[in-house]
Chains A and B, each alone.
Chain A
């Protein structure tokens, strides 16, 4: 890979990975805050109002981080990927512009109302603001997923006489079947992150003996949401996503699994390190026939191996793709188990006194961030060497006039700036957590 291409990829990968740490929490929390606000509106219970206000403050800090790190994403399509943008802008520009016109205006308007608090605008308008912020952020997610889904599985376009990509049907593009599966999978993933954060704060308050009333309430909302979303993110949404990849991107599936030779009744590698040169998995622990079953629903189905296609069509970083996929699936399994156990104990009224589970919930909160990041790495590394699957290679999409020296300059700039942002972010969130929900001032 030439240096310029590598740096442009790293530039985008770094900024988008960092950016997505924030929206995955805010999209998940937006739903949970809306649920709490609805409970508060129906019952008038001040505890619910305080709880909502606390999470709105956490949400606000994360949202601001998401905005400031999100603006560079829209710019980078043009700055770093100009050949891609010139070719595909007539198609994906539609969804990116829709995001700006429909979601951002909605979110920025109603987030102000949400942050300004109930006292100023009354309970109904405040509840409406929580609904609009939820809709805005989930709509924003839809437009981004529709954009990525088109790059994974392009539909609704035709190729013109000079190789240009022309939008043929906006409806076909927006109703891409890939979009709905990926959207459901991704948004459930964000609820896992949001509910895990709520569970962790609840568990922390119970373990520390501070704000225990709120801790209990956070678990009452967080644990069922976590258990349910952990299940849905795997079945049916993750399962459907896997079957789509098997059907439309068989090379990707083979690379995700380190599956080199075509086989019927292929096994699933649970553990093992891929060795691409020797074409094997070291230290494998394999579940026989399981890969065939999860990809095609039949135990004896044939799964194509990497060797069916020329090497220049293989994803270019198979080990990282393999690990990303396995980390996502492994963590997803842990979430289902932890969610089920915590939910069971909660039903039996034993959760609040069971320290090991509270500790597990507290320690679990970083893991969904890793799982969501690994999931996106699986999707994006798996699409390689394509930028638009089957249409444009990644090597043909970057801005050729921007030298690698300038790209490295701005990459280092972002790294430095984002380090400062992280410090400030952790400080602000820690301050809110220490302040707690009850004694908080309103602003």
Chain B
């Protein structure tokens, strides 16, 4: 039952990264791909109807994590206290920036809101990547299963690590590059020329960066955590996950249209995330030198997990239905006369 919830939380997290990922990427890129205010508005309206719905996936993931794995929620949220608070501030700034741009047509303030939106989006992508890096590397859990990490110490992977060290920064760079590519493909899919060509060109350059970084991060991960890939030799079926990532990457390269390239990027992100999740299982938050918190010692008691399935599954299907509805309503290119 714990393992079921482990995968359900993973699905919500993957859903969040896929969905909010493209609006983070597009947000970080819009300053560079658009040459005029109209073009910029076109890019922003390509994510306008979606971004707040996408963030709900984060809240849903957080809430689900809370009741299924309360010990993990308590330990991770208090241990990653500082970066989470910064993430909250960035989410607030980002929401305010896009809404203000939308409501206040003021030539002086527009570039300000656009810059805030761009910076907050890029930093969020970096923090998400660093968080993933921290989960792979492990954290200094004490005997109660709690910890506290500063932003950085000496940037080394040691017994006294910070949120940011060379390894987690490397993962963060890969995450940023991946989400930028994801966002560029989305922009290409939803906007008109000349933005579409620029976004395609950017996506192609970012593709090469992703291809260069992925093996580097993979090697670094085994260096930091030598036993990381043991699950793959015990359960070779898990090799499907990295295979999915590679297939997605190849698909993006060969894709003729932006939307198929975007779907390839979705497959790559899903494959990478599931590979990580599969490798650390049964840990959910490893300590530096032992499994730390696992699905078994962090999960809520059985009754709560069982009764939770009863209401959670219908709610999840409803949520998927709403999301599908919104994406169908707003599929295809954005309205040409640069809706603001």
A167 touches B81 (CB 8 A): no
A86-B71, A109-B53, A424-B100 known; A166-B85 Cβ under 8 A: no
- A sample of 5 more A-B contacts (CB under 8 A), given A72-B88, A85-B77, A399-B74, is A90-B300, A97-B312, A101-B318, A105-B56, A170-B304
C-alpha gap A77/B202 in the complex (Å):
40
Q: Which residues of A contact B326 (CB under 8 A)?
A: 109, 112
Residue among B62, B70, B73, B82 with the highest chain A CB neighbour number at 10 A: B70
16 contacts between A and B (CB under 8 A): A71-B55, A78-B66, A82-B146, A83-B74, A85-B66, A89-B66, A93-B73, A96-B66, A98-B315, A100-B64, A105-B60, A105-B318, A167-B303, A170-B307, A402-B148, A406-B81
Q: Which residues of A contact B93 (CB under 8 A)?
A: 417
Q: Which residues of A contact B240 (CB under 8 A)?
A: none
Q: Mark B71-93, 1 if CB is under 8 A from A, else 0.
A: 10111111101101100110111
B67 touches A75 (CB 8 A): no
C-alpha gap A298/B93 in the complex (Å):
54
Q: Which residues of B contact A262 (CB under 8 A)?
A: none
Using CB atoms, name the residue of chain B closest to A106. B322
B105 to chain A minimum Cβ distance, whole angstroms, is 10
Using CB atoms, name the residue of chain A closest to B306. A170
A71-B91, A101-B60, A166-B303 known; A85-B81 Cβ under 8 A: no
C-alpha gap A26/B52 in the complex (Å):
17
In the complex, which range does the number of interface residues on chain A fall in? 35 or more
B92 touches A421 (CB 8 A): yes
Tell me the B residues contacting A by CB distance below 8 Å: 49, 52-53, 55-56, 58-60, 62-64, 66-68, 70-71, 73-79, 81-82, 84-85, 88-89, 91-93, 95-96, 99-100, 102-104, 146-148, 300-301, 303-304, 307-308, 311-312, 315-316, 318-319, 322-323, 325-326, 340
Q: Which of A75, A83, A166 contacts B62 (CB 8 A)?
A: A75
Q: Which of A97, A108, A160, A167 contacts B53 (CB 8 A)?
A: A108
B95 touches A68 (CB 8 A): yes
A97 touches B60 (CB 8 A): yes
In the assembled complex, A42 has its CB within 8 A of some CB on chain B: no
Chain A, 385-443, CB within 8 A of any chain B CB: 399-403, 406, 410, 413, 417, 421, 424, 428, 443
Q: Which of A74, A91, A167 contacts B59 (CB 8 A)?
A: A74
C-alpha gap A94/B68 in the complex (Å):
8
C-alpha gap A198/B135 in the complex (Å):
50
B81 touches A97 (CB 8 A): no
Q: SS class of chain A's interface: helix, strand, loop or mixed?
A: helix
Q: Which residues of B contact A99 (CB under 8 A)?
A: 63
Q: SS class of chain B's interface: helix, strand, loop or mixed?
A: helix
Q: Which of A87, A96, A399, A424 contacts B67 (CB 8 A)?
A: A96
Q: Which of B60, B66, B75, B89 contacts A104 (CB 8 A)?
A: B60
In the assembled complex, A79 has its CB within 8 A of some CB on chain B: yes
A74-B62, A82-B77, A402-B81 known; A67-B316 Cβ under 8 A: no
A413 touches B56 (CB 8 A): no
A208 to chain B minimum Cβ distance, whole angstroms, is 23
Using CB atoms, name the residue of chain A closest to B69. A89
A140 to chain B minimum Cβ distance, whole angstroms, is 11
C-alpha gap A108/B323 in the complex (Å):
10
Q: Which of A105, A166, A399 contacts B301 (CB 8 A)?
A: A166
A93 touches B67 (CB 8 A): yes
A402 touches B92 (CB 8 A): no
In the assembled complex, A64 has its CB within 8 A of some CB on chain B: yes
**A-B CB proximity, top 7 nearest:** A89-B70, A78-B77, A93-B67, A97-B63, A90-B300, A82-B78, A101-B315
Q: Which residues of A contact B66 (CB under 8 A)?
A: 74, 77-78, 85, 89, 93, 96-97
In the assembled complex, A102 has its CB within 8 A of some CB on chain B: yes
Q: Which of B56, B76, B95, B102 contacts A78 (CB 8 A)?
A: B76
Q: Which of A61, A86, A100, A168 contacts B60 (CB 8 A)?
A: A100
Residue among B59, B67, B75, B104 with the highest chain A CB neighbour number at 10 A: B59
